[in-house]
Structure 1
Amino acid sequence: MNSVNAPTVDFKEQLMQLPSGSRAAAKYLAPYELPPSALIDLARHSRIRLCNRGNQISITGRSGFVHILLEGCVAERNTEGAAVRLWRNRTAFGDSGLLESLFSSNLGSRPKLYGEFLSTGRTLCIRKERLRALALNDASVALLLARIGMERANVVERLYVANRKPTLARVASLLDYLADSHVGLRHRVDSEDGRTVVRPVRNTAIDGPTQLDIADALTLGRATVEKALAQLRKDKALVDFSPGERTNRYYEIADRHLLQQIARGA
C-alpha cells in the first residue's frame, strides 16, 4: 500500500466508525481544516442540534455546553428582550464568553444574555468540560477556538461598536454580514449570441430579524432603520417586493456587490 494514501484510508475508516450524529458533526467541522485526528476527536464528542425559530440557547448562563452556530440567525438578547447583537454561522456561544470560560474559573459578574433563534438553524453542541480537555490536549483545537473568538471580536468592532459611518452604511454592513446565514439558488435567463442561456445565480436572503431587532442591535431608531431599508430597495441593493409580498423578517439581496459598496460608504 502506498504510505502517502494510508492516513486518508485510516481517517475514512475512523469516520465511518463514528455514530451517525458524530459523522454529521464531522461534516460541518470539515471547513475549519482541523488535522484528521483533531477532527475525529471533536466530532466524536459533538452533536448537531436542530433549532426552530424561537428556540433559545445559553450565552452567559451555566448550561455547561458550548454551541457553534452552523446555520441560521441568532439574536443575542438581554433580560429585557432587546437584541444586543445579531449573529450568523461560525459564531460560538457558551458560558460567559467561549475562551474565558474554557480556560479561566474567575469570570466575575457579567450581564445576563441569551440567544434566540430568529430562523430555523443548526448548532454543533459539545460539553464545555470536554471541549476544555480537547483544547488543552490539542493545540489545533485551541487555535480553532481562538480563531472563532477573534472573528467574533472583529464583528463586534466592525458592526456594533459606535462609529461615524452613515446610517445607511451601517444597516448595509449588518445585512451583508448576515447574508451568509442563508443562501438560495435561482436561475437567470440571458441572451447570448442569439441564444437563450439559463445560468444558476447565487441569490442571498436574510431570514429572521425584524426591523426592531436591527434597530436595537445598531442602537438606532426603528423609523431610521425602516428608512434605510427603503433606500436600499430604491437603490436596487435589496429586492423591492410587490405590496403584500414582503415580510418584516425577510430581506432579499438583489445586488451583493452594490450592497457591499454602500456598506463601505461608497
Structure 2
Amino acid sequence: MPPKVDAFRTSEVLRGRQAMPEGSFLRHLPDDTWPLLVSAWGLDARVYERDEELPLGPDDKNVYIILGGCVLQERFPLGAAAASTRITRFRGVGEVVGEAKLIAPEAAVTTVCLATTWVMPCPTQRMNVLLRKQPRAQQALLCSLEDRNRSDEMIYCTPNRTPVQRVGGLLLRLAGIAGRTNSADPGQVTILGPTQRDIADALLMGVSTVESAVRALRDTHGVITSRYRQFVVTDLHALRDIALSS
C-alpha cells in the first residue's frame, strides 16, 4: 500500500529536504545521488504496520532503506535452534537493512517493524550496479556501516557502564533514529514501538534491571516518560549528559 502521508513527511523525504540522522546512509549520501534512488525505486516504497516482518529471508531479493519508523533485527549466530543465543539490534530512519544480501544473496535476518514503518525496497542486483557506477554512493554505504558499528559498540558492548547509562544511551540513540517530534512541543521526542523486554534483549540485561533504569530516568532524573511501547524524551540534553557521562 502507498505511504501514509499523515504518518510521514513523504514529499520532504523524497525530495531530500528532511534532515537524516547523523551517521546514517542517507546522511552520508551525496545530495545529487538521492534522486537517482528515488527515480528508480521511490514508487515501490510502502508501509509496513507494527509487528509485520520485512521480507529479508534467504529467498528474498531486496535490501531496504528505512524512510520512517523503526525495526528490530534479530540474528541467531548458532542457528535458529539456539534461539536463546541471539543478537538484537534496533535500526531506524536513513539506514540500510539487509545489506548483507549485497555480497551474500542468501543472507537472512529477522526484521520486525516496531511501529508503522515506511521503507524503500532496492533490488540487490540493481543496487550493486548503482553502487559500482556511483563510487560516492558506495562510500556513503561503507561510511554508514562503519558509523553504525561504532555506535553499536558504544551502546551494546559496554557492560561496565551502569544500567541507567546503558538504557539512557539506547533511548538517546532511538530518539535520533526513530524519534518523532510534535510541533506543539518541539522539545519532546516520542519513541514508538520498543518494549522494555526489547531493550533488555538488545542490551543483554534482565528485564527487572531495565525496569529499574527506566524508573530512575523517569522518576529520579525526570528526562523521560514511559508507557507500553512508548517512551517520550522530555529533556534530550539531560538524557545525553546521563548517557555520555564517564
Indicate the residue corresponding to 2:199 in structure 1: 214
Are 2:62 and 2:122, in contact at CA under 8 Å, matched by a contact in 1? Answer: yes
- Write the deviation string for residues 99-158 of structure 1: whole angstroms up to 9, x where unpaired: x542x4598xx7x53110010121121101111000111112212211221222122211
The Cα shift of 1:25 comes to 6.9
Are 1:25 and 1:43, in contact at CA under 8 Å, matched by a contact in 2? Answer: no
Indicate the residue corresponding to 2:232 in structure 1: 252
Q: Do the aligned partners of residues 237 and 225 (structure 1) sit closer, same or farther apart at CA in structure 2, a change above 3 Å counting? A: same
> Counterparts of 1:88 and 1:42 in 2: how far apart (Å)?
18
Are 1:68 and 1:124, in contact at CA under 8 Å, matched by a contact in 2? Answer: yes
Tell me the TM-score normalized by structure 2.
0.78
> Counterparts of 1:157 and 1:133 in 2: how far apart (Å)?
31
Identity of matched residues, %:
23
> Counterparts of 1:225 and 1:139 in 2: how far apart (Å)?
42
Alignment root-mean-square deviation, CA: 2.7
Are 1:75 and 1:83, in contact at CA under 8 Å, matched by a contact in 2? Answer: no
Indicate the residue corresponding to 2:112 in structure 1: 116
Indicate the residue corresponding to 2:5 in structure 1: none
Q: Does 1:161 align with 2:141?
A: no
> Counterparts of 1:222 and 1:119 in 2: how far apart (Å)?
21
Indicate the residue corresponding to 1:44 in structure 2: 39
* Partner-residue secondary structure (3-state), 1:203: strand
Are 1:58 and 1:113, in contact at CA under 8 Å, matched by a contact in 2? Answer: no
**Long gaps (5+) in structure 2:** 1-9, 20-25
**Which of 1 and 2 has greater Rg?**
1
> Counterparts of 1:230 and 1:215 in 2: how far apart (Å)?
14
> Counterparts of 2:194 and 2:236 in 1: how far apart (Å)?
19
> Counterparts of 1:150 and 1:29 in 2: how far apart (Å)?
24
**Aligned AA for 2:97?**
F
Q: Does 1:226 align with 2:211?
A: yes
Tell me the TM-score normalized by structure 1.
0.72
The Cα shift of 1:247 comes to 2.5
Q: Does 1:203 align with 2:203?
A: no
Indicate the residue corresponding to 1:63 in structure 2: 60
The Cα shift of 1:74 comes to 0.8
Indicate the residue corresponding to 2:222 in structure 1: 236
> Counterparts of 2:192 and 2:13 in 1: how far apart (Å)?
24
The Cα shift of 1:212 comes to 0.5
> Counterparts of 2:209 and 2:140 in 1: how far apart (Å)?
38
> Counterparts of 2:169 and 2:158 in 1: how far apart (Å)?
13
